Structure 1
Amino acid sequence: MDAVLKNGSASHQRKSPKEIRRPSREEAEAAVRTLLAWTGDDPDREGLLDTPKRVVKAYSELFGGYFEDPIQHLERTFEDVGGYKDIVMVRGIPFHSHCEHHMLPFIGQAHIAYYPAEGVVGLSKLARVVDIFAKRLQTQENLTAQIASAIDDQLAPRGLAVLLEAEHQCMTMRGVQKPGVSTITTQFTGIFQDEPAEQAKFMSLVRGGGL
């Protein structure tokens, strides 16, 4: 479900993990040893001997989203909802991802709302979709678009709204070093895109207001 870039600067789709030669665990650990030495430390000292193994193990968790299919979590829907057709919202889904430019974390919350068409999906499944896409190297813009595309394509709701708000450590720990700065990205489809009042309702719910 990786999104195709549509801004004119690129038109190719990202390769899937199956199309990329994945190094062995031993090669990955050797690469970590190289980075440790490059920083100026001794990879053979006691405190760093097991660091390559630990880093590779941690990366397998942090970037496990490459080997999961988000669509599997959206395939089962429930139509017996008593005729409910109003907004469904999951607010404040925590996530952590890594920027593809510096491989530093960005941490925040996702807010997702949709108007059901044929049925609703289990609420936890929306959080699963966020996690799967977040556990890949990302930009926040691409992460927002991927989440929205997967949900919109699979559920075909009458309208979908996705908002991500995150703090990027590449701005906090390096570069301009400005802690506390948050980045907000949004994606709207259907009635959320066509009707400003629906966007306003969504933003009010995100901020904790009522309908």
Structure 2
Amino acid sequence: MEKAFAEIIESIGEDLNREGLLDTPARAAKAFRFLNRGYEQSLEEVVNGALFPSDNSEMVVVQDIEFYSMCEHHLLPFIGKAHVAYIPQGMVIGLSKIARIVDMYARRLQIQENMTKEIAEAIQSVTNAAGVGVVIEAKHMCMMMRGVEKQSGSMKTSMMLGSFRSNSATRAEFMSLIK
């Protein structure tokens, strides 16, 4: 990976022997591995058995989970917040595990639409919830720094499973709670 970054830097006309760039290929490779560390994680490792019996059957919402991801089309960051809700059916998941699931999928080359779906399906699969709702809002550097160069545009995506999809009142309650 270091060699690849060195070639990229040289291909834009830079001198790798310049003092400020001497260790840049190694630093860039280390940073890129860190930014994409979600590939080194599995859902089972992230959840780590943190599922607990509960007779609660009311909506659980975790909102404003900040994340950083990388657009798979341009390798530029997109940054935002995820809002996750589920309706338990006998089991609840540890609170921090929801944020860790968001991070695991965010720390992969992604498009926001797929990330939203992956998070919802992961929460559903580990909790067996009656329903799961995920809303993600993000700013994309590929739109801000290149292309149309629009600074205030943001993107919102949602994925509704189970009762969040089939019951408009459940969906509306979730949406009102995250506003």
1:91 is the counterpart of 2:58:
no
Q: 1:43 aligns to what?
A: 16
Identity of aligned residues (%): 46
Q: Tell me the TM-score normalized by structure 1.
A: 0.82
Counterpart of 2:162, as a letter, is G
Q: Which runs of 5+ in 2 are unaligned?
A: none
Gapped regions of structure 1 (runs ≥ 5): 1-27
Maintained 8 Å contact 1:71/1:150: no
- Cα deviation 1:124-168 (Å, max 9, x = unaligned): 000000001111100001111111111111211001000100000
Is the 8 Å Cα contact of residues 98 and 104 (structure 1) preserved in structure 2? yes
1:198 correspondence with 2:170? yes
CA RMSD of aligned residues (A): 1.0
Match of 1:120 among 86, 92, 95: 92
Aligned residue pairs, count? 178
5 Å-filtered alignment, 1:71-82, equals 71-74=44-47, 75-79=49-53, 81=54
Q: Which runs of 4+ in 1 moved over 6 A?
A: none
Q: Which amino acid aligns with 2:169?
A: A
Q: 1:101-116 counterparts in 2 under 5 A? A: 101-116=73-88
Q: Which amino acid aligns with 1:55?
A: A
Counterpart code for 1:160:
V
**Counterpart position of 1:129:** 101
CA offsets 1:84-128 (integer angstroms, 9 cap, x no match): 211101010000000000000000000000000121000100000
2:117 to 122, 145, 157: 145
